[in-house]
Amino acid sequence: MLYLDAPVDAGFSYSEIVDGVLDLTTQDIYLGLQKEDGFTPNATHIPGRLPAQDPLKTANTTDTNVRTLWNAVQLWTIEFPHHPSIDKISVWTNSYGGYTATSFLSYCFSQNEKIVNGTIPSNEAKKIVPDNLGLTNACVDIVEQGKGSIDYAYNNTYNLSMLSETGYKLAMQAFSGPGGCKELTLHCRDAASKFDPFGFGNNDAVDKACHNAVGICQPLTMIPELHANRSSYDIAHLVPDPQPGYNALGYFNEAAIQQALGVPLNFTYTPNVVAMNFFATGDPVRQDKSHLERLLNGGVKVAMVYGDRDSRCNWMGAEDLAIDLVWADADKFKASGYEKIVTSAAYTGGVVRQRGNFSFSRVYDAGHAVGAYQPETVYAIFMRSMFGTDVATGRVLASAYSSKGSQSSKDIKNKLPDSPRGRCNIWQMQQTCTQEQIAALKSGKAWVANSEVLRPASSAGAMALTVLR
């Protein structure tokens, strides 16, 4: 199993390593600051060995990232021949990775065709055969999933309406009306297909068209924060959101752990240079469902797994996408019904509809990082999908299988739990800390243990619920 940090400069990856300082309050990286420059390390400014912040040395689009990933996998097979391997590859991903994973595996198909027909000499590259794709609360196509974000905010299975009727109509107008998200996205994609077909992100007119679309579309995925003081990653949580836990970020930045892993630099979760690159080219709206359709028609096993408390890449929009996919067994998938996902006699973690090796699972009481909330259920889905059995029980070969039951699970309601206490993690201040805590960290008055601020205490849960009128 490989964990790939991409694009370059994210995680432990880098184009060049430099000495610098990470500002934890903004995630900005300042290069070369030393004591003689007047810099003194403190709780919000951490010195370290960091990736160079050169926007020209990292990716600016999913397409560019995918080409780099393909080369990385090729190099892995060449440089480590003592690791036995087969041609097949499976990819499991989350969130923005939905764009990357579907595009990457589709790109593998294209490259394999070039290897077979001799366009790429067979002695210079190895076929990488897509076998399985797992999409966990992944965004794939805003045109297909965008309406679901609004529906979810207004009428979800937790009986929490974060929009009034008027607010719902306004949001729908912003999505599908003239000059709205859908229209601007289709214009972006049309322009990209004509003037930037390989997704280099180097055509100013295309970048501007796509960037403008993102500006309209993105707020529609953030309705919980903007109108209800709740996290779009878990609507049960008031902001600042204490979940998912960010303890791994502090762990990866411990010197002993870095030495054990053999990495020469600090771990950077999402460098601003990468985020700014991708948003400048409007990348979040460029990708569409065609890659996923190609994978299904090419026989790839696909599992869509969605926690039902996530609003950002929510299950309602994902279900719309799954139903609208055009592939050989599309009609049979639409005719399939929901069955319980059985993991033990005492517990049901969700429901699934499935046709052949394509499944869509709604996982109960789980947010954006679905595996962190329901590890047993998600592990069962993972194993059953990987080995080509039915996701409901794992006992039936999936090749000609269709699940049976109701074609909708929206009648299955859940109770929204109380928001958990806040947990301010210094490695993700913007998402997890109050302004009071950030101020205390800056002034040196905060009490910190294991990357968590203990004093001042977190106050998540004290914010008043507001509804757009």
Q: Tens digit of pLDDT for each residue in 319-331?
A: 999 999 999 999 9
Q: From residue 248, give the alpha-carbon distance in Å to each of 141, 426, 444, 452.
A: 29, 12, 24, 12
Q: What mean pLDDT comes out for the span 427-450?
A: 92
pLDDT at res. 38: 59
Residue 246 lies in a domain: no
Residue 399 lies in a domain: yes
Q: How many percent of the chain have pLDDT more than 70?
A: 96
Residue 460: pLDDT above 90? no
Q: What mean pLDDT comes out for the span 78-89?
A: 79
Residue 253: pLDDT above 60? yes
The residue annotated as part of the active site, out of 9, 63, 241, 310, is 310
pLDDT at res. 35: 55
- Active-site residue 95, yes or no? yes
Residue-range definition of the domain harbouring residue 114: 86-141+288-420
pLDDT at res. 440: 95
The residue annotated as part of the active site, out of 291, 308, 368, 390, is 368
Residue 83: pLDDT above 80? no
Residue 349: pLDDT above 80? yes
**How far is the C-alpha of 376 from the C-alpha of 394, rounded, in Å?**
14
Residue 322 lies in a domain: yes
Residue of 285, 137, 174, 162 lying closest to 226 (CA atoms): 162
Residue 463: pLDDT above 60? no
DSSP per-residue string spanning 415-428: PPPPPPPP--BGGG
DSSP per-residue string spanning 434-446: -HHHHHHHHHT--
Give the E-state strand segments of 316-363 in sequence order.
Answer: 339-344, 347-355, 358-363
Residue 462: pLDDT above 60? no
* pTM for the predicted model, two decimal places: 0.94
- Identify the sign of the CA torsion 309, 310, 314, 315: negative
Residue 229: pLDDT above 70? yes
- Cα 60 to its chain centre, rounded Å, is 17
Q: What mean pLDDT comes out for the span 189-198?
A: 98
Residue 464: pLDDT above 50? no
Rounded to 10°, the helix 62-79/97-117 angle is 60
Residue 347 lies in a domain: yes
Q: Which residue has the higher pLDDT, 352 or 38?
A: 352
- Active-site residue 45, yes or no? no
Residue 235 lies in a domain: no
Residue 383 lies in a domain: yes
Query: Pairing state of beta strands 452-455 and 447-449?
Result: antiparallel
- Active-site residue 368, yes or no? yes
pLDDT at res. 225: 93
- Say what the alpha-carbon torsion angle 317, 318, 324, 327 is, to the nearest 10 degrees: 170
- 240, 224 in Cβ contact below 8 A? no
Q: How many percent of the chain have pLDDT more than 90?
A: 82
Residue 207 lies in a domain: no
Token reading at 74: 């090729």
Token reading at 259: 């030495």
pLDDT at res. 43: 82
**368-388: per-residue pLDDT in tens?**
999 999 999 999 999 999 999
**How far is the C-alpha of 238 from the C-alpha of 432, rounded, in Å?**
10
pLDDT at res. 469: 27
Q: Which residue has the higher pLDDT, 44 or 318?
A: 318
Kindly report the average pLDDT of the chain as a whole number: 93
The residue annotated as part of the active site, out of 9, 13, 63, 95, is 95
Residue 204 lies in a domain: no
Least confident of 190-199, 236-245, 391-400: 236-245
Residue 36: pLDDT above 70? no
Q: How many domains does the chain have?
A: 1
Residue 468: pLDDT above 50? no
Burial 225-247 (b: 16+ CB within 10 A, else e): bbbbbbbbbbbbbbbbbbbbebe
pLDDT at res. 34: 59
CATH code assigned at 362: 3.40.50.1820
